[in-house]
Every structure is written in C-alpha cells, then in structure tokens.
C-alpha cells in the first residue's frame, strides 16, 4: 500500500483508521486495537505497521511491546477524515 | 434542552428498532391469522393529532383511500378516541371504524412515559378480549426487549471511551516501565505526553540538588527539528510555578504538571495543542495521571542508576586492588573500556550487554589475585606447574564475582576469554561460535593489553606492533570478524588519542 487513498480498499485498515480518528488521544497495542475493532490480532499488527509506514500512525516502540497512536499532522488527519466520510456516504 | 434531545434520539431509536423487529413482524403475522385481514400501523409519538393518524394509516387503508373527506374524518375521529382511551387507561383499547371494521390501539409506555402506539384495524369481526390480552403481553415483552437492547447500547457508548482511555493508560504504563535508562525514558515520556495530549511541544525538567533550578532534560517540538534546552528557576514561568506550588499550572496554550514523589522531582510542560484549542481541565486530569506513572518510572531509573554507580564503584575498587599487585605495570583502563564499548556498539549490543563487557574488561583477570607473587612477577619462563596455575585464573575470577548477582552475565565472558578461535585455548578448548561473543571480544582486548603494557618478563610492544600481532592471529587465536571490528575501532582518532595519552603520559 503506497497511498492513504488506497487504504479504502482494505476493511481492516479502514476500521483502524476509524478507531484512531475517533479516539485521537489513544495509544494502544496491537492486542488492544484488535479488541476494539474486533479483528484478528496478527492481521491488525500487520495493518498497524502499514499505517506507520504511511505516517498515519506513530509507533512508540519498547522492548516488551509497541504502542500505536494517531498522527499529529493536520494534513493527514483531514485526509483520513475525508476518506472515512466518503466511505460512510458510499 | 440536552435532555430533550437525548429523549428524542431515544424515541427515534426505539421506533426504528421496533419497525425492524423480527419478533414484532412474526407477532403481526400470527395475530393476522386470527383477526384477518388486519392492517398494522405504528405511531412514533405520544398524543398524536388526526393528521398523524391519517399519515400512519392512509397509505395502507383501502377504505380511507377511496372515502370522501367527511367519512375519512369520522373514521379518524373514531381512531383518535381509541388512542385517547388507550392513553388514559394505559391498556389496549378496541374501536370500530365508520366502515364497520374493527381494530385496537396499544399504547407503548415505559414507566409513566408514553412513547407511541401500535395498532391494527380493518378486521371484519370484533376482536375478542382474550386475543387482545395475549397480544398485549407479547408486545410488552418485545418492547421491553428492545428497551433493554437500547439501554445496553447506551451503556456501551458510555463505557467504551472510558475503557479505551483506560487501555491507553495501561499501554503508557507498559511503555514507560520497560526501560530503566533515563536517557531513553525521558524522551519516551515526552513523546507519549505529546501523543495523549495532542500537543506540539513537550519539555521535561528535573529539579537540581540545590532545589533552586530546573534542569532541562528533554524538549521535543513536533514543528522543529532542533530545540533549545533552557534552565528555569523554581518559581518562574509555568514550570517553575508548578514545582514551587506542587500543583498543575494551566494556561490557554500550556500546561505544567509537577512530578511528585515524596517531594517534587521535576515537571512536564506541554505547549500548543495541534487543534489550537486551549488545554482543558480534562487534559489536566489526564496529564496528572500520566505524571503519576512517569514519576514512578523516573524514580526507578534513578535508583537503578545509583545502583549501577555503586556496582561500578565496587568493581573499579576491586580492579585497583588487583592492579596494585603488579606495581611496575600500568594498565590504561579508561582506554580499554572505551575500545570495548566501541566494539560492542559496532555490534549493536544493548545497554545490558555493553555493561557486561565493561565489567568484564575491568575484572577479566581478577583471578590472578590467587597467583603467588613469585609467579606473577617472575621475569623468566614459567614452569609447567606455574603455567597450570595461570590457566586457572579465569575460574578463580568467576569464583570471586559469582556472588554478585549484577555480574551474572559477565561470568561466561571472563571464564572463556582465554579460549582460542581454533580450539587451542583454555579452559574448555571451545571453538569458533562455541565461544561466547563477549569472550571473543575480551580475548582480543586481553591480548592487546598484555602486549602494550610492561610485564616483568618483557618490555611493552608499540600500539602498532600489537595491532599487527592481533591481525596476524585472526582466524587462529582470534575470531577474524571481531579482529576486523577491533581494527576498525582502532582506526578511530579519538580512541587512538585517548590510548596514547593514557599510556605514554603515565609512563613518561
């Protein structure tokens, strides 16, 4: 996945985006996010890393775990907002 | 007003679910068989006007569609009185319309609150009270089920954000308690604070020993690549005031929260929210929770650092005692520590592994304390028995340090640092990767040290000659990859200069 717009094709990526867009102050582990969006943990972990590479999410890495949080870039936040809005209306 | 909106939303949700309810559809089908042909309708408001009744019934009632307005009005009037009757009695009410057809109205109550009605008409026969009673009981159950579902989803909506916030607190706790290195911990706390508070800048300052000044430890600004670290006097600006008064200080674009253990140990300050909104009381609460976690992690890291200093101090003292057994020999310890750390860093070792190397560099020959003076300072070749005594020194070294838990990881480095890469070393004749990595590094350091320092039986070699000797023995005595690493490190000007300065200035 190279662009944020391409994320619309993936359900799991969109669910993660919706979760972080709605809970912008949240930091959670793959296990936590998987619980909130009711998806498989391994798939969520891969999707989270995809989103980190697109700079939509920030990874806080420690030896025991990684916490993922939403980007601070207003440009990316608005882009994601538009993408989620489109998905809702379609 | 907010209550009214909530009430309206609740009613809307209730009727949406009721209209979609499969149980209600089944009930209608079932009762439809008894009172056929029935026409079912739902009115989603209390005390409806005739116009509401007409809207609910008109599209499906064949009589109303073809009736004149006067007849239609009479029919709706009959229906309206049934609605009124059902409302006042809070029970199902029967009616007969102007066309001689029968129907009933069931009011939907929750406690004293009336929400709307379910009704049926267009039945050719009068509906018996027993059927109506059964209908009322069934409908009541269905509505209560929907109301329960609604309450549950309302509860879920209330609990979910709190559960997500709790999960964030838990994740932050795990992230900040997973390191005991202050240099790693403080930037991590700053980044997590920025993330949670959605702010642009975070600065962490710790109170100095005089308790007059706040020492800047970390500042992260998401808008800038570099930031300045500024000292602040206690009592000045928001951070200074937060420390002085021991409570959070909040302004529109900043919030300073003190880090309080038994006393105030520092302060976390956040500036400029990314959505440009002012910091709120809720932000202050969240930040206070984070500060409570941060202070525990900082205190743990500080204690660990103290403990490490104590351990290092004891080890250095022990090394000094050992050095004093060979008074004519000077060992440039600082340089060797620098070389060994540089080699470990090249291998991307973590802090724990680097510490082990450092301790091993100081203590690898501690076991020589067990050697008699005449062996230690013998200028001639050692006899077989004397050489056997020398070969036992790694085991003696381990014997000395094995009671210190902090040095557990150092044991394999010390025990095997005289093993040779080709298996010709001692004590276990280990080969290649069988020899622990730290021991392969220490083998080079030990040999290099032996060559460039003065020994009772020979004069020291030059640094270059010793390096050449190491290179020459790559693949036999030493791991060739580690030799390459050593050569790379020894090319570094800072390391070479430190070694020359320490070695030659001391010997001058």
Residues B60 and B64: their CA atoms lie apart, in Å, by 8
pLDDT of A79 reads 92
Residues in A closer than 8 angstroms to B168, CB to CB, are 25-28
CA proximity to B420, closest of B412, B431, B428: B431
Residues in B closer than 8 angstroms to A36, CB to CB, are 164, 167
Q: Per the CB < 8 Å rule, is A24 touching B164?
A: no
More confident residue, B405 or B286: B286
Residues B108 and B83: their CA atoms lie apart, in Å, by 11
CA proximity to B451, closest of B475, B438, B439, B467: B467
pLDDT of B42 reads 87
Residues B35, B36, B39, B45, Cα dihedral to 10°: 10
Residues B348 and B342: their CA atoms lie apart, in Å, by 10
The matching CATH number, chosen from 3.30.450.40, 3.90.1150.10, 1.10.3720.10, 3.40.50.800, for B182-297 is 3.30.450.40
CA proximity to B440, closest of B449, B432, B448: B432
Q: Highest mean pLDDT: which of A12-26, B460-474, B488-502?
A: A12-26
Residues B246 and B144: their CA atoms lie apart, in Å, by 53
* CB nearest to B196's CB, from A25, A63, A74: A25
- Residue B329: pLDDT band by 50, 70, 90 thresholds? low
More confident residue, B6 or B166: B166
Which residue in chain B is spatially nearest to A32 when comparing CA positions? B167
Q: Per the CB < 8 Å rule, is B195 touching A64?
A: no
Residues in A closer than 8 angstroms to B200, CB to CB, are 72
pLDDT of B327 reads 55
- To the nearest whole Å, the CA of B378 is away from the closest chain A CA by 50
Residues in B closer than 8 angstroms to A69, CB to CB, are 195-196
Mean pLDDT of B215-240: 89
* CB nearest to A27's CB, from B161, B172, B179: B172
What's the CATH code, domain B2-149?
3.30.450
pLDDT of B460 reads 80
More confident residue, B468 or B311: B468
- The answer on pLDDT for B483 being more than 90 is yes
CB B449 within 8 A of CB B468: no
- The answer on pLDDT for B3 being more than 90 is no
Residues 177-206 of B with CB under 8 A from A: 178-179, 188, 191-192, 194-198, 200
Kindly state the tokens that stand for B3.
Answer: 């209550």
Q: Which domain holds residue A21?
A: 4-83
- The answer on pLDDT for B455 being more than 70 is yes
Which residue in chain B is spatially nearest to A74 when comparing CA positions? B274
The reply to whether B325-507 shares the fold of B182-297 is: no
In chain B, domain spans? 2-149, 182-297, 325-507
B159 touches chain A (CB under 8 A): no
Distant-in-sequence, close-in-space partners of B83: CB < 8 Å, separation ≥ 6: B43, B47, B48, B53, B93, B105, B107, B117, B119
- To the nearest whole Å, the CA of B443 is away from the closest chain A CA by 30
Tokens 């775990």 belong to A65
pLDDT tens, residue by residue, B375-400? 777 777 778 788 788 888 888 888 88
Determine the length of chain A: 90
Distant-in-sequence, close-in-space partners of B14: CB < 8 Å, separation ≥ 6: B115, B146, B147, B150
CA proximity to B119, closest of B210, B215, B28: B28
Residue A52 sits in a domain whose CATH number is 1.10.10.10
Mean pLDDT of B161-177: 91
* CB nearest to A62's CB, from B167, B175, B196: B175
- Residue B7: pLDDT band by 50, 70, 90 thresholds? confident
| Beta bridge partner(s), residue B94 | B104
- The answer on pLDDT for B243 being more than 80 is yes
- The answer on pLDDT for B369 being more than 80 is no
Mean pLDDT of B475-491: 92
CATH class entry, domain B325-507: mainly alpha
Percentage of residues in chain B having pLDDT higher than 90? 33
pLDDT of A90 reads 62
- Residue B288: pLDDT band by 50, 70, 90 thresholds? very high
- Residue B209: pLDDT band by 50, 70, 90 thresholds? confident
Q: Per the CB < 8 Å rule, is A72 touching B164?
A: no
Tokens 């929907």 belong to B146
Residues 465-504 of B with CB under 8 A from A: none
Write the DSSP string, chain A.
--SGGGGGG-HHHHHHHHHHHHSTT-EE-HHHHHHHHT--HHHHHHHHHHHHHTTSEEEEE-SS-EEEEE---HHHHHHHHHHHHHHHH-
- To the nearest whole Å, the CA of A73 is away from the closest chain B CA by 8
Q: Is the pTM of this model over 0.80?
A: no
Q: Is A35 domain-assigned?
A: yes
The total domain count for chain A is: 1
- Residue B452: pLDDT band by 50, 70, 90 thresholds? confident
Most A CBs within 10 A among B160, B169, B175, B272, hence the mutation to make, goes to B175
Residues in A closer than 8 angstroms to B198, CB to CB, are 24-25, 72
B164 touches chain A (CB under 8 A): yes
Mean pLDDT of B174-180: 91
- Residue B499: pLDDT band by 50, 70, 90 thresholds? confident
For residue B269, cis peptide bond before it (omega within 30 degrees of 0): no
pLDDT tens, residue by residue, B79-105? 888 888 999 999 889 888 777 888 889
- Residue B297: pLDDT band by 50, 70, 90 thresholds? very high
Percentage of residues in chain A having pLDDT higher than 90? 74
- The answer on pLDDT for B200 being more than 90 is yes
pLDDT of A6 reads 83
Computed over every residue of chain B, the mean pLDDT equals: 86
Least reliable range by pLDDT among B327-341, B418-432, B445-459: B327-341
Most B CBs within 10 A among A69, A73, A77, hence the mutation to make, goes to A69
Kindly state the tokens that stand for B197.
Answer: 């508070």
- Residue A75: pLDDT band by 50, 70, 90 thresholds? very high
Mean pLDDT of A35-53: 94
pLDDT of B498 reads 85
Residues in B closer than 8 angstroms to A67, CB to CB, are 171-172, 174-175, 192
pLDDT of B41 reads 84
- Residue B266: pLDDT band by 50, 70, 90 thresholds? very high
pLDDT of B122 reads 81
Residues in B closer than 8 angstroms to A26, CB to CB, are 164-165, 167-168
Residues in A closer than 8 angstroms to B194, CB to CB, are 72
Helix A74-89 / helix A11-22 crossing angle, nearest 10 deg: 120
* CB nearest to A67's CB, from B161, B175, B197: B175
Across B208-263, the runs of DSSP E, i.e. the strands, are 213-221, 232-233, 249-250, 254-260
Mean pLDDT of B321-336: 69
B300 touches chain A (CB under 8 A): no
Q: Is A64 domain-assigned?
A: yes
Residues in B closer than 8 angstroms to A70, CB to CB, are 195
């Amino acid at each position: 996945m190279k662009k944020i717009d391409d994320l619309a094709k993936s359900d799991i990526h969109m669910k993660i985006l919706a979760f972080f867009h709605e809970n912008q102050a949240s930091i959670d582990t793959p296990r936590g996010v998987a619980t909130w969006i009711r998806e498989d943990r391994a798939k969520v972990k891969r999707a989270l890393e995809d989103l980190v590479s697109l700079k939509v999410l920030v990874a806080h890495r420690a030896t025991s775990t990684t916490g993922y949080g939403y980007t601070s870039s207003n440009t990316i936040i608005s882009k994601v907002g538009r993408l989620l809005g489109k998905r809702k209306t379609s | 007003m907010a209550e009214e909106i909530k009430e309206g939303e609740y009613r809307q949700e209730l009727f949406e679910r009721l209209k979609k309810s499969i149980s209600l559809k089944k009930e209608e089908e079932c009762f439809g068989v008894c009172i056929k042909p029935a026409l079912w309708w739902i009115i989603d408001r209390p005390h409806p006007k005739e116009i509401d009744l007409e809207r609910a019934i008109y599209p499906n009632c064949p009589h109303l569609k073809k009736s004149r307005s006067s007849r239609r009005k009479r029919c709706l009037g009959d229906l309206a009185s049934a609605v009124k009757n059902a409302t006042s009695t809070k029970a199902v009410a029967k009616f007969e319309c102007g066309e001689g057809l029968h129907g009933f109205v069931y009011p939907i109550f929750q406690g004293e609150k009336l929400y709307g009605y379910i009704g049926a008409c267009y039945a050719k026969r009068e509906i018996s009270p027993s059927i109506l009673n059964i209908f009322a009981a069934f409908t009541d159950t269905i509505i209560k089920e929907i109301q329960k579902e609604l309450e549950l989803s309302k509860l879920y909506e209330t609990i979910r954000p709190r559960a997500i916030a709790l999960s964030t607190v838990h994740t932050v706790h795990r992230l900040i308690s997973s390191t005991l290195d202050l240099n790693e911990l403080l930037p991590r706390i700053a980044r997590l604070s920025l993330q949670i508070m959605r702010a642009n800048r975070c600065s962490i300052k710790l109170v100095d020993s005089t308790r007059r000044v706040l020492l800047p430890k970390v500042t992260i600004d998401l808008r800038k690549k570099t930031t300045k670290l500024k000292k602040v006097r206690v009592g000045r600006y928001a951070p200074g005031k937060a420390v002085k008064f021991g409570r959070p200080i909040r302004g529109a674009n900043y919030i300073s929260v003190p880090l309080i253990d038994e006393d105030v140990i520092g302060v976390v300050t956040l500036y400029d929210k990314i959505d440009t909104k002012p910091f709120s009381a809720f932000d202050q609460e969240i930040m206070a929770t984070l500060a409570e976690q941060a202070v525990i992690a900082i205190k743990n890291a500080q204690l660990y650092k103290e403990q490490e200093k104590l351990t290092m101090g004891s080890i250095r003292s022990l090394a000094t005692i050992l050095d004093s057994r060979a008074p004519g020999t000077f060992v440039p310890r600082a340089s060797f520590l620098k070389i060994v750390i540089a080699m470990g860093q090249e291998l991307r070792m973590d802090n724990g592994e680097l510490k082990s190397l450092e301790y091993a560099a100081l203590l690898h020959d501690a076991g020589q304390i067990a050697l008699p003076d005449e062996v230690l300072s013998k200028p001639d070749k050692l006899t077989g028995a004397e050489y056997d005594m020398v070969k036992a020194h790694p085991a003696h070294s381990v014997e000395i340090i094995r009671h210190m838990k902090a040095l557990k990881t150092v044991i394999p480095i010390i025990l095997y640092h005289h093993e040779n890469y080709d298996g010709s070393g001692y004590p276990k004749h280990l080969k290649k990767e069988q020899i622990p990595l730290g021991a392969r590094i220490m083998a080079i350091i030990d040999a290099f040290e032996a060559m460039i320092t003065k020994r009772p039986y020979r004069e020291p070699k030059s640094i270059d000659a010793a390096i050449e000797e190491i290179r020459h023995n790559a693949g036999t005595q030493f791991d060739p990859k580690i030799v390459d690493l050593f050569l790379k490190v020894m090319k570094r000007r800072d390391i070479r200069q430190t070694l020359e300065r320490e070695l030659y200035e001391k010997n001058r």
